[in-house]
Amino acid sequence: MEPIRKRHNVDKLTEYAKANITPLTLSQPQTFLDSVVTIVSRSSMVSRFEKAPFREFIGSLTSKDKRFLTDAFKKRLFGRKKREGFDEIVGQLGRYKLARWSIVSAVPFYLDPKKDAFVKPTTAKKIVAVLEIDDLHYYPRPDWSFYDGYRKLILEIKRHLDPSVTPNNAAITGLLMSSL
Residue 47 pLDDT > 70, yes or no? yes
70 in a structural domain: yes
pLDDT score, position 161: 85
Q: Which domain holds residue 171?
A: 121-179
- C-alpha separations of 54 from 61, 135, 139 in Å: 11, 31, 21
Is the same domain home to 134 and 97? no
115 in a structural domain: no
85 in a structural domain: yes
Quote the CA–CA distance of 40 and 158 in Å, as a whole number: 25
Is the same domain home to 164 and 84? no
Is the same domain home to 10 and 71? yes
pLDDT tens for each residue of 121-147: 999 999 999 889 989 999 999 999 999
Is the same domain home to 174 and 133? yes
* Long-range CB contacts for residues 135-143, cutoff 8 Å, separation at least 24: 141/90, 141/94, 141/99, 142/86, 142/90, 142/99, 142/100, 142/101, 142/104, 142/105, 143/90
What is residue 100's three-state secondary structure?
Answer: coil
112 in a structural domain: no
156 in a structural domain: yes
- Categorize the per-residue pLDDT at 177 as very low, low, confident or very high, splitting at 50, 70 and 90: confident
Domain boundary among the residues 78, 105, 132 is at: 105
Residue 39 pLDDT > 50, yes or no? yes
Is the same domain home to 51 and 99? yes
pLDDT score, position 32: 97
Residue 51 pLDDT > 90, yes or no? yes
Is the same domain home to 73 and 146? no
- Categorize the per-residue pLDDT at 170 as very low, low, confident or very high, splitting at 50, 70 and 90: confident
Is the same domain home to 101 and 126? no
Residue 3 pLDDT > 50, yes or no? no
pLDDT tens for each residue of 95-119: 999 999 999 999 999 999 999 999 9
- Cβ(176)–Cβ(127) under 8 Å? yes
pLDDT score, position 174: 83
pLDDT score, position 6: 45
113 in a structural domain: no
